[in-house]
Amino acid sequence: MQREIITLQLGEYANHVGAHWWNLQEAGFIYDPKQIALKEVENDILFRQGLTFRGEETYTPRLLLFDVRSSLRTLPEQGFLYKGDSSRGGVTWNGAIEKVERDITSNNKETSEGEDIAMEVTDQERITGACYIPSDTTIASDVMSWSDYLVTQLHPRSVNLIPNEVEIGFPHSNSYCMGSLCLQNAEFSQLIENQLHFFVEDCDNLQGFQLLSGLSDGYGSLTSQLLSSLSDEYHKSGKCCIPFLPSLPLIDSFDTFSPHLTLALNLSDWLEHASMLTPLSNSQLPLPFLHHQSNSYHTASVLAAAIDTASLIYRIPESGLDMQDYTSILTASGRKLTSLSTLLPFPLLRESTLLHSLSLHPLISAACLTPSVHASCTPITACNIVRGIPPSYKLFGTGTSSYDSFTSPNDLISHEFGSKYSGCNSFSMLANSPLTLRYPFPNIFSSNITHDGFITSHISTDTVESRLATNPVKSIPVSTAIENHNGLFTLVNNCVELFQNKTYLQLFSVAQKLELDTLQETRHSLLDVLDRYPVPEDLVLQSDTDSD
């Protein structure tokens, strides 16, 4: 039975990641009827079929996204697909009409180009895989918003704009109260109820929600509010949350303190209602084989590739797991925080064997995308996914008799994971389909990656730019691991420590119109979370010095 998932994206960065993710998914669609047997991923879980007023069929994400109007740029609020009949009726007024142009600044060269990208991909090109690639590789610097490179068409109910009155304070980090302010706007909260209802009612058997959001800004608190209403109404559905943690400056004044505390408050709210939380960092991704810049367009593409792979577990029906099962296995003993690490690409040497590749680039070297994780902790539970090892790829060469009993890549990978995670409740899944990349996914791979994702020993002399034009990377194997381990202690601990600064706490409570008691309650609930983790030996928790 098909089990649908609804995605919520809140905030600019979440929408950057989301845009890449939907693009990646759409790049992975199989249109050729001959290859339909290869289909693994059930796209209907995240996408829905629809019908426009003119009877045209559509396929759009089950998605609600939240952003401010300026991020939409050339993307109409209602999307491109479901245009009403504007030829009829039109203006119902006898008198004069004044025309007022808004956002004139955004009408520049790049946006019209961005629109071209979205329109350029036709069905024919989808089948043949051919696609228009601009000669200008400096697109990264031209991208001003996620809507510039979003290829996937959205349903008119997907886009939700933050009300204008609260918009001004929204991007700023000292905006914990913005979320509740948003929902106090009756029109906005009714809009959300209607939009969400549309997607939920459409589902035959709702599996759960995925939430992508910033954590330390106003969107984080809006997400808290949405989460609590979701858990109220759909308490049996899974709620997988992926918060994005920016690299916050060190605390040296109240201005730098308040985003940290906002993060702590939101984290505590989220932990209460979500089924699983996988915080990801959007800065300094320590990945070999990648040359990416630090702008949102590039970092988001890396995170999107990892999330796409990690979410395969509930998107491939054969896995037999749905979101509830999956999260309940991973979040053992009430620890809802998990970390995500990835090998992107999964290092397969060209003309070599899997065993040899693994020995050169062991799974243990996977880069952790979750920040503030106390390193080198053995996970308690883990879920590993490896995708895109070609069936023809040799497992091992001759003369390695100890591995003769392994007959499939799955056996070998499981064995490797087993040795990595000894004493851990882990499960792994192998998917055949690699991650398909297509423009506008940025070309972030170093020059020793071939177009089909292998690593070659001879480094091509071409520059990255010249290779993009001739032979871009089309697909790569990826592995990800979602882990629940003691190292996540650090993140919560950092949050708890914030509450020791009484002066700033008081300032914060005044600035955000919060009771000090509320802040203390949050502190206690974070301490409760902390109690579930054993104290690492080299990290002595500061003792509870409070008199209350």
Partner 1 sequence: MTAIKELNPNAEIARAGQALLLNVNAAKGLQEVMRTNLGPKGTMKMLVSGSGDIKITKDGNVLLHEMQIQHPTASLIARTSTAQDQITGDGTTSNVLLIGELLKQAEYYVSEGLHPRVATEGFDLAKIKALEVLDLIRVKIGAERHMLINVARTSLRTKVKQDLADLLTEVVVDAVLAIKREDFHIDLHMIEIMEMMHQTELDTKLIYGIVTDHGGRHPDMPRRIDQAFVLTCNVSMEYEKSEINSSFVYKSSDQRERLVLAERKFTDEKVQRIIDLKKKVCSGPNSDKGFLVLNQKGIDPLSLDMLAKENILGLRRVKRRNMERLMLACGGEAMNSVDDELTSDCLGYAGVVYQHTLGEDTYTFIEDVKNPASVTILIKGPNNHSIVQIKDAIHDGLRAVMNAIEDECIIPGAGAFEIAAHSAIIDPEFMNDIKGKAKLGAKAFADALLITPKCLAQNAGLDPQDIIVKLQQEYSTNKFPVGLDIYSGDAQFPIDSGIFDNYRVKRQLIQSATAIASNLLLVDEVMRAGMSSLKQAS
Contact residues for partner 1, defined by CB under 8 A: 1, 50-55, 69, 72-78, 82, 84-86, 88-104, 106-107, 111, 163-165, 168-169, 172, 193-194, 197-198, 200-201, 203-206, 233, 236, 255, 324-325, 328
C-alpha distances out from residue 132 to 29, 31, 113, 447, Å: 18, 18, 12, 22
> With respect to partner 1, which residue has the nearer C-beta, 86 or 545?
86
Query: Of the candidates 443, 500, 486, 489, which has an alpha carbon nearest to the alpha carbon of residue 466?
Result: 443
Residue 118 to residue 152: CA distance in whole angstroms: 8
Q: How far is the CB of 373 from partner 1 (least distance, A)?
A: 26
Residue 181 to residue 331: CA distance in whole angstroms: 32
Q: How far is the CB of 297 from partner 1 (least distance, A)?
A: 19
> With respect to partner 1, which residue has the nearer C-beta, 91 or 540?
91
Contact 387, 432 (CB under 8 A): yes
> With respect to partner 1, which residue has the nearer C-beta, 99 or 109?
99
The token duo for 272 is: 């209460």
Q: How far is the CB of 76 from partner 1 (least distance, A)?
A: 4
Dihedral sign, Cα of residue 483, residue 487, residue 493, residue 495: negative
> With respect to partner 1, which residue has the nearer C-beta, 100 or 540?
100
Q: How far is the CB of 359 from partner 1 (least distance, A)?
A: 36
Q: How many residues are listed for the chain in this entry?
A: 548
Q: How far is the CB of 324 from partner 1 (least distance, A)?
A: 6
Q: How far is the CB of 278 from partner 1 (least distance, A)?
A: 19
What is the distance in angstroms between the CA of the first residue and the CA of the last residue of the chain?
52
One-character DSSP codes across 281-292: ESS----TTB--
> With respect to partner 1, which residue has the nearer C-beta, 184 or 247?
184
Dihedral sign, Cα of residue 279, residue 240, residue 30, residue 351: positive
> With respect to partner 1, which residue has the nearer C-beta, 168 or 535?
168
One-character DSSP codes across 341-374: EEESS---BTTS-HHHHHHHS-GGGPEE-SSSPP
Q: How far is the CB of 241 from partner 1 (least distance, A)?
A: 17
Q: How many CA atoms lie within 13 A of 262 on its CB side?
A: 32
Q: How far is the CB of 244 from partner 1 (least distance, A)?
A: 22
One-character DSSP codes across 395-437: S--TT-GGGTT--SHHHHHHHHHHHHTTTSEEEEEEESS-EE-
Q: What does the CA dihedral 249, 252, 255, 256 come to, rounded to 10 degrees? A: 20
> With respect to partner 1, which residue has the nearer C-beta, 83 or 502?
83
> With respect to partner 1, which residue has the nearer C-beta, 159 or 287?
159
> With respect to partner 1, which residue has the nearer C-beta, 124 or 205?
205
Q: How far is the CB of 220 from partner 1 (least distance, A)?
A: 17
393-419 burial code (b ≥16 CB/10 A, e <16): bebbeeeeeeeeebeebeebbbebbee
Q: How far is the CB of 202 from partner 1 (least distance, A)?
A: 8
Q: How far is the CB of 426 from partner 1 (least distance, A)?
A: 17
> With respect to partner 1, which residue has the nearer C-beta, 194 or 446?
194
Please name the amino acid found at residue 245.
L
Contact 6, 200 (CB under 8 A): yes
> With respect to partner 1, which residue has the nearer C-beta, 74 or 433?
74
Q: Using CB atoms within 10 A of its CB, is residue 303 exposed (0-12), middle (13-18) or buried (19+)?
A: buried
Residue recorded with tokens 């939907």: 22
| Angle of CA points 361, 489, 366, to nearest 5° | 10
